[in-house]
Structure 1
Amino acid sequence: MRIGTRAHHPLYEQVAGELRKMTAFIRQEAIEKAREIQLKADEEFAIEKSKLVRQETAAIDTQYEKKFKQAAMSQQITRSTLANRTRLRVLSSRQELLDELFQQARDQISGIAAKDAKKYETVLKDLVLEGLFALNEEKVSVRARKKDAEAVKKAIEEAEKEFQESVGKEVSAELDEEDPLPEGSAGGVVILGGQGKIEINNTFEDRLRLLEIDALPAVRETLFGKNVNRRFYD
């Protein structure tokens, strides 16, 4: 009697079955391991992707914030530049108007002597007398335009009398005909004391200059409004 073939031998069948089980187990393990690796890879990919997205988002936000600040700064500079240009134009226009007004005043005072000689003599007397009171010296000299010489001499005489009546002492004021004021002067006098070291400038030009300084705030307020000095001249 012959023994059956090896393929049908019980021991063979047992071994083959074990091998199939082992192969199936290994295959299952490999599938699960592959799935685990895939899940871990997907998780790491998602984490890395999220990290990259956050980094890129932060970079974009930083870049946007930087550009926004630059744009805001540029806008502020532009606005400030335009405001300064407007302010300067307004100041320039206002200063031109003020200069024109004061020039008109200069032109008017230049014609006082020619229009009313008597009134001019009274003005000269008051200017000389003011200098006598300010210096309070026994002897002073007076400078004036050559064409005003006679009028100034009369003004000096009257001023000396008024000074003596007011102060109770005599004063001698002499017209300095060797060093007169320029003929281009609008008029008025310069009184010298302290042996020529002290000078009181009572010419029309200087008095007008002082008046411009004193009256300028009021003139600005009258022309341009109450708050103009605070808004444009601070």
Structure 2
Amino acid sequence: MSQAHALSDDQVAGELKKMTAFIKQEAIEKAREIEIKADEEFAIEKSKLVRQETSSIDTQYEKKFKQAAMSQQITRSTVANKSRLKILTARQELLNDLFDQANKKLEGYTEDKSKYQEILKNLTLEGLYALNEQKVQVRAKPADYDVVKKALDEAAKEFKENVGKEVTVTVDEKNPLPDGSAGGVTIVGGNGKIDINNTFEERLKLLESDALPAVRTTLFGKNENRKFYD
């Protein structure tokens, strides 16, 4: 019985060959599965790394772009400010020169005594109207006392004609204006507590303040005036 089922050497060799082929085929298929899976994992990992590097590069680029933009903005602002300051300085120097020239011409108004007397009268009257007191003192520089006293008499007379009140106006010789003053007067009332500065220098300062916008517009134009001084 056992002999009937005994395999010959050729049959055993055939069976071994089949088993070997089967095992080899399984190994090949398993190797292929491993290779496919490795390729998939490699592709996933590669894609992940690419995304990470791309994101990192984008972040660095955005940071550098912002830094460059900020640097450019700072540079532009610095240049603009320097240019603006230069223009403002040049304009202010021109304005200062104009008013310096006007200041130098003030002395010429005292040379014509009759015209100067009229100016002093009007400057004094302005103070008399503002104070509206019975006794008022006027301060002037000593060199102008003669013409000032005549102007005060005229101012007191005109004040009475216009207001209907007597006013006594005297020169405060104890507190004169400095000899270097260009001219004009200071009107003092309220027992010495109130004074109205109507000297030429002070009137020129007021003129500078009041006329400055118009002067700027005339010299530099309306749009430029707004651009640099608003």
1:155 correspondence with 2:151: yes
Counterpart amino acid of residue 231 in structure 1: K
3-state SS, counterpart of residue 141 of structure 1: strand
3-state SS, counterpart of residue 52 of structure 1: helix
Aligned to 1:47: 44
3-state SS, counterpart of residue 182 of structure 2: coil
Matches of 2:44 and 2:215, distance apart in 1: 75
After superposition, give the CA deviation of every residue in 1:107-165 in whole Å (9 maximum; x if it has no partner): 00122112x11111110010001100000000011000010011110010000000000
Q: Give 1:13 deviation, angstroms.
A: 2.5
Aligned to 1:215: 211
1:179 correspondence with 2:175: yes
Counterpart amino acid of residue 118 in structure 1: S
Counterpart amino acid of residue 149 in structure 2: K
| TM-score, normalised with respect to structure 2 | 0.95
Counterpart amino acid of residue 112 in structure 1: Y
1:86 correspondence with 2:65: no
RMSD of Structure 2 on Structure 1 (CA): 1.0
Aligned to 1:129: 125
Aligned to 2:220: 224
Aligned to 1:14: 11
**More divergent stretch after superposition (135-144 vs 16-25):** 16-25
Counterpart amino acid of residue 12 in structure 1: D
1:98 correspondence with 2:95: yes
Q: Give 1:32 deviation, angstroms.
A: 1.1
Aligned to 1:3: none
Matches of 1:229 and 1:222, distance apart in 2: 9
Q: Give 1:16 deviation, angstroms.
A: 2.2
Q: Give 1:43 deviation, angstroms.
A: 1.1
After superposition, give the CA deviation of every residue in 1:14-73 in whole Å (9 maximum; x if it has no partner): 222222111111111111111111111111111111110111011001100110011011
3-state SS, counterpart of residue 111 of structure 1: helix
3-state SS, counterpart of residue 96 of structure 1: helix
Matches of 2:133 and 2:85, distance apart in 1: 49
**More divergent stretch after superposition (14-23 vs 158-167):** 14-23
3-state SS, counterpart of residue 222 of structure 2: coil
Matches of 2:133 and 2:223, distance apart in 1: 46
3-state SS, counterpart of residue 157 of structure 2: helix
**More divergent stretch after superposition (180-189 vs 16-25):** 16-25
After superposition, give the CA deviation of every residue in 1:146-203 in whole Å (9 maximum; x if it has no partner): 1001111001000000000000010011100111001111110000000010110000
* Identity level (%): 70
Aligned to 1:206: 202
The alignment of Structure 1 onto Structure 2 pairs a total of residues equal to 225
In structure 1, stretches of 5+ residues that fail to align are 1-8
Aligned to 2:64: 67
Q: After superposition, where does 1:183-198 map in structure 2 within 5 Å?
A: 183-198=179-194
3-state SS, counterpart of residue 8 of structure 2: helix
Matches of 2:168 and 2:11, distance apart in 1: 155
Matches of 1:12 and 1:226, distance apart in 2: 119
Superposition misfits of 4+ residues, deviation over 2 angstroms: 9-16
